[in-house]
Amino acid sequence: MAMRKVAVVGAGMTRFVRRALETGKELSYEASKMALDYCDLTLDEVDCVVHGTAPDSFDGVHMKGEYLSDGSGAWRKPYTRCYVGGGTGVFAPIHGWYHVASGLFDICLVVCEEKMSSCQPHPQGAFLTIFDHTTERPLKPNLLWIFAMEMNRYMHTYGLKKEDIALVSVKNKRNAADHPCSLLGDANITLQDVLNSEVLAWPVQRLDVSPVTDGAVALVLAAEHVARRICDKPIWIEGVGWNLDTAYWTNRDLCYPRYVEKAARMAYEMAGITEPRKQIHIAEPYDPFDYKELHHLEGLMLFDRGKAPEATALGITQRNGDLPVCPSGGLLGVGNPIAAAGLMKVAELFWQLRGEAGARQVPGQPRRGVAQAWGDLMQVGTVAVLGV
Amino acid sequence: MTVKIDKFPGVYLHESDFEQGRVLYNTWDPQAQYAWDAGIAIGRYLSELKQGHLVGVRCNQCRRTVVPPRAFCEWCFRPMDDWVNLPDTGTVNTFSLCYVTWDMQYLTEPQIPAVIDIDGTRPSVGIMHLLGDVDPKKVHIGMRVQAVWKPEEERTGSILDIRHFKPV
Ligand SMILES: [Zn+2]
């Protein structure tokens, strides 16, 4: 395939907060402006814009992509909005990547925004429509059910305890204490705090879950000839992958995310990665729940099936461990404005690989990282590999 | 985040900002109503439930027998071959003890959603339903269960024609 090299050359983000004063447009503008300023570009130089955001029902705004378009700098430009559920935040830069890799555009602004606080009394109301309208919704399901049942299946299959999984929440909330935009960073949180938090839907407890959040993140992507001219250290998008498994979720084994493996294989092949455990130095898997980080690390083939909890207990996934995982603080710590949270992970790799992550910097000059997000009815995987 | 940026936008609103009227907002309460046609496969599934039967479908090419029924095999991309009568028994594949409603109201007695692998399916596959007539502490993966049907005159052709599944 004759594809052009594409780099990330700028990133910006707002603070992640429970309820923001700013509108979605204003959040989008702030993140976009910061990303453009980062690489000294003006909006005129942007060829196309990609936006990723949750369904219209979240905000009660018809065609939310259009509503957010001015804040994303999209007017009088080729503009598309993409959406693959929680996977959107890593899919949006993939969408931007193929705009540039194809040769169609040289510079693409990628923006992800979420304002979950607008949906009252709780954004779960907008999530309920993910269940089948005839065979499932009459049971009055709530969103936690599906995750709690997946977590239970994962624990049962590998004989895991709550303690094994709660360590992820502790790690990520501690990591997030070093993130200036974080909602739930807590340097002093303990395993007991997580284990003693209230039970919502066993085995899911309050501190196993990421919070409702408002926020926005933006990236600037550029073709190689532009990237080398405007950026001292472009971070290359070396591989991308995405994959969707069956939506008959009760018909597949919930203990393993096969769709993540398929997406990862696609991305690794493109990036020339044959031994991910040696060739990947940082991982930012999607962690809306603590068990999901473990699940996804296994799907990304960074640990054997059922072995990610053991690696976590051994400290391998700590920021100074052999494979730092969610050095940003992840969704559990920084916050979970759905699409923006996924793009935050890609932005984190950008800062980490440039050596600009400040207090969160992973030691040892990491050269390659993987970001992954997950969504739809729990069965879409989106993966991006970034490298120096 | 990056060491190059020392100030980030995004203003955190607190409850007190609303109580004291420091921020303005407006609200909307949508009245959206929908009617979903059950379709060919689920239509028959529901009418069989009304008769007190649980049915699945078989694909002779990939040799699967699955529930909920579907008109076409999504892997072989061809029509399903047969309707199959399934027993109303199965095994708990996974479950949760849920103490909150969707809008975060607390429940004193948990709801027990489960994926129940239905006997007679191949490979073994399940449906989501609720467990009942059981002590929440005794529920476990691998537990054998059976459907508890509503009386015939109360059935409407709905997944709720099964009240819940209970231990055998
Ligand atoms: Zn088939």
Per-residue model confidence as pLDDT tens digits over A269-293: 999 999 999 999 999 999 999 999 9
Q: Which residues of B touch A180 (CB under 8 A)?
A: 1, 8
Gap from A27 CA to chain B (nearest CA, Å): 7
**pTM: predicted TM-score of the whole model, two decimal places:** 0.96
Under the banding of pLDDT at 50, 70 and 90, the label for residue A56 is confident
Q: For A5-35, what is each residue's pLDDT tens digit?
A: 999 999 999 999 999 999 999 999 999 999 9
Whole-number Å distance between alpha carbons of A5 and A272: 14
Whole-number Å distance between alpha carbons of A381 and A84: 9
Q: Which residues of A touch B125 (CB under 8 A)?
A: 248, 250-251
Give the residue among A147, A262, A243, A252 at the shortest CA–CA distance from A200: A147
Q: Which residues of A touch B141 (CB under 8 A)?
A: 152-153, 156
**What are the CA-CA distances from residue A240 to residues A30, A370, B69 (Å)?**
27, 10, 35
Gap from A304 CA to chain B (nearest CA, Å): 22
Is the distance from CB of A41 to CB of A222 less than 8 angstroms?
Answer: no
Q: Is the ipTM of this complex over 0.90?
A: yes
Contact A134 B38 (CB under 8 A): yes
A251 touches chain B (CB under 8 A): yes
Gap from B37 CA to chain A (nearest CA, Å): 9
B17 contact partners, CB below 8 Å, separation of at least 6? B23
Q: Quote the pLDDT of residue A1.
A: 59
- Spans of all domains in chain B: 39-167
A274 touches chain B (CB under 8 A): no
B74 touches chain A (CB under 8 A): yes
Residue of chain B minimizing CA distance to A216: B10
Contact B98 A201 (CB under 8 A): yes
Q: Is the peptide bond before A363 cis (omega within 30 degrees of 0)?
A: no
**Residue A263 tokens, joined:** 């997406």
Ligand 1 centroid to Cα of residue A249, in Å, is: 17
Q: Which residues of B touch A21 (CB under 8 A)?
A: 11-13, 23
State the average pLDDT over residues B124-153: 98
Is the distance from CB of A195 to CB of A166 less than 8 angstroms?
Answer: yes
Pick the CATH number of A6-120+211-387 from 3.90.1150.10, 3.40.50.300, 3.40.47.10, 1.10.10.10: 3.40.47.10
Residue with tokens 């624990």: A155
Percent of chain A's residues with pLDDT above 90: 92
Is the distance from CB of A254 to CB of A374 less than 8 angstroms?
Answer: no
Q: For B7-45, what is each residue's pLDDT tens digit?
A: 899 999 999 999 999 999 999 888 889 999 999 999 999
Q: For A132-165, what is each residue's pLDDT tens digit?
A: 999 999 999 999 999 999 999 999 999 999 999 9
Q: For A67-80, what is each residue's pLDDT tens digit?
A: 999 999 999 999 99
Whole-number Å distance between alpha carbons of A223 and A272: 20
CB pairs under 8 A between A and B: 175
